[in-house]
Chains A and B, each alone.
Chain A
Amino acid sequence: MSGRITEIGRWQGFLLQLPLLVWLVVLWLLLWGHITVISVLTGVIVALVVTRLFYLPPVDLSGRFSVYWGLAFAWHFAVDLVRASVLVAWQAVDPRGVPVNSVLAVQLHTRSDLIMTLTAEAISLVPGSLVVEVDRERSLLYVHALGTPDDAAIERVRHSVLVVEERIVRTLGSEHDVWMINRERRAAGRPPLRLSARQRRYEDAREGR
């Protein structure tokens, strides 16, 4: 992975920045509320200036993006958001008293900062959980879960975090991330994710088949 980054040229560097530039221009247009030549032009200029002035390390995109899994993620996210909101709203006013909680360590499969960040963001909004601490070196998320009366509830939260990670990896994870998830699924006797020919070649090469 890192070897690829050092070899990228100017043009590829620009391509990697492109999603950020496009997003900034879209945001600019949304704020103005109309699309004219001037607003697009100023948007492009502002986006370029902002990305030069407030330089951030480039996000290591995998180059994969699955529209289908992106939509599936968005749908599950919306459903979970409504469910979690109603649940927490109920826990807040539940006359039986406040819930018992736990802090659990969830071992993610990915090594990607982007996927870790997205997972942390998504689970904070979704299934009764909140990220207390992040161990980037070991890809560990320490999650505070609200309302976990027993071990079964704790394992349910752990599983739900991993399901969110899996959806994000399916959407934009690298071949390595998909491989890590598939390896665990095979070890647990579950069917692996449906593999593209390219992914199958990658996994065969990594596992020496």
Chain B
Amino acid sequence: MSAAELLDLGSVLFLFAAALLSLAAGVGIVRFPDPLSRMHAATKPQILGLVCALVALGLQAENGATVAALVPILAFQMLTAPISAHMVGRAGYRTRHLRRDLLIRDELADAIDKAHADAARHDTEPDLPGLVTDEDTSDWRP
């Protein structure tokens, strides 16, 4: 087997792994019951799938410039995927789009309840975790 064929075989294997992981991510997004769970599927297998696809491309690259272009793709995906997942998950939690019956513990709800209870006792505004002032959180109770 020549070197080029070995590289081709490597690319095939990595592309196959990428396809499987992306499929699993897609299945997870459909099958998981609430936005918080779905975001797990949208970040983790998706990133590894992307890594595999980029490695497959890198193996076929004929010059360094192509490989150099792959690096920022991965870097920005790794930086932005958790942030977008956090924003969607946070919005989902705040708008009560979550399956409470699937949570065995929720320490954020506990903290919010405690903040509301403290505020009621001292007759002040609740000191909510992650409070953003330009947002109306007065009735924020999951």
Contacts and interface: CB of A to CB of B under 8 A. Distances in A.
Interface of A: 27, 29-31, 33-34, 81-82, 84-93, 98-105, 120-121, 124-125, 128, 130-136, 138, 140, 142, 144, 146, 148-151, 154
Given A88-B40, A91-B28, A104 B105 contact: yes
Q: Is the interface of A mostly helix, strand, loop or mixed?
A: mixed
B108 interface: yes
A85 B21 contact: yes
Contact of A30 (B49, B71, B90): B71
Contacts of B78: 121, 125
B7 interface: no
Contacts, number: 158
Nearest to A128: B40
Contacts of B66: 33
B62 to A, nearest CB: 12
Interface of B: 20-21, 24-25, 27-28, 31-33, 36-37, 39-41, 43-45, 47-49, 51, 64-66, 68-69, 71-72, 78-79, 81-83, 85-86, 89-90, 93, 102-111, 129-130
Given A30-B68, A30-B71, A105-B108, A135 B82 contact: no
Given A30-B72, A34-B65, A128-B44, 12 more contacts: A86-B45, A88-B28, A93-B28, A98-B33, A101-B103, A120-B82, A121-B82, A133-B90, A134-B130, A140-B111, A142-B107, A142-B129
B43 A125 contact: yes
